[in-house]
Amino acid sequence: MIPCAPVLLLLVLPAVECDRLQISGDYFTKDGSRVFLSGVNLAWVGYATDFGNNQFAARKSSYERFFKELHESGGSSIRIWIHVQGETSPLFDGNGYVTGLDSSGTFLSDMNELLGLGQKYNILVFFCLWNGAVKFDKEYRMDGLIRDTGKLTSYLQHALIPWVKSVKDNPAVGGWDIMNEPEGLINTQRSSNNPCLNATHLIPGGAGWAGRLYNYEDVQRFINWQVDAIRQTDPGALVTLGSWKAQVNTDEYGSHNHYSDHCLTQAGGKAQGVLQFYTVHSYGKRFDNLSPFKHQKSDYKLNKPLMVGEFASKNGGGMAIESMFQYAYGHGYCGAWSWSATDNYEGDAWETQKRGVASIRNNSDASKGTVHFTL
Hey, how many other C-beta atoms are within 10 angstroms of the C-beta on 193?
A: 6
Q: Is 72 part of the annotated catalytic residue set?
A: no
Please state, in angstroms and rounded to a whole number, the distance separating the CA atoms of residues 337 and 325: 8
Hey, how many other C-beta atoms are within 10 angstroms of the C-beta on 153?
A: 15
Hey, how many other C-beta atoms are within 10 angstroms of the C-beta on 319?
A: 16
Spell out a b/e string for 109-122, using b for 16 or more CB atoms within 10 Å of the CB, else e.
ebbebbbebbeebb
Please state, in angstroms and rounded to a whole number, the distance separating the CA atoms of residues 240 and 260: 11
Q: What share of the chain is helix, strand, coil (3-state, %, to 5)?
A: 35, 20, 50
Amino acid at 225: W
Cβ distance 296 to 252 under 8 Å?
no
- Residue 240 DSSP SS3: strand
Tell me which of 69, 181, 183, 217 is the catalytic residue.
181
Q: Is 139 part of the annotated catalytic residue set?
A: no
Please state, in angstroms and rounded to a whole number, the distance separating the CA atoms of residues 228 and 223: 9
Tell me which of 69, 139, 183, 310 is the catalytic residue.
310
Q: Which residues are catalytic?
A: 181, 310
